[in-house]
Amino acid sequence: MSNKPAILKSVPTEIEANLIKGLLTGHGIETDIEGILTSGFRAEAPGQVHIVVHEDDLQKAQEILDEINTKKINWDEEDIAQDKAPGQE
């Protein structure tokens, strides 16, 4: 078993990285995030946030991401909170 770190994916924001981390953690995959401090810079070469997993978990993590990315969501069937603004009925 290898604990060597491997970059699973690079994303532009900390928010997206944390969503992916939560998803993978929920599937039992230990995940780390690197590059948070550079992700918010607005420059010609903006930073990226790297989602890092153990090398042994890389294939399983990629399969989970692939499944989510190809899943078609029927929003009519999803339970989404639809709060109304004050004064609206």
Convert the pLDDT of each residue in 29-73 to its tens digit.
999 998 876 555 555 456 788 999 999 999 999 999 988 877 765
What pLDDT score was predicted for residue 36?
72
Whole-number Å distance between alpha carbons of 18 and 24: 10
Q: Where are the domains of the chain?
A: 5-68
Whether residue 82 contacts residue 42, with contact meaning beta carbons closer than 8 Å, is answered with no
Q: Which CATH number fits domain 5-68: 1.10.3720.10, 3.30.70.1530, 3.20.10.10, 1.10.10.10?
A: 3.30.70.1530
Most confident stretch, 18-22, 32-36, 71-75, 77-81? 18-22
Counting Cα atoms < 13 Å in the Cβ hemisphere of 34 gives 10
Q: Which residue has the higher pLDDT, 85 or 14?
A: 14
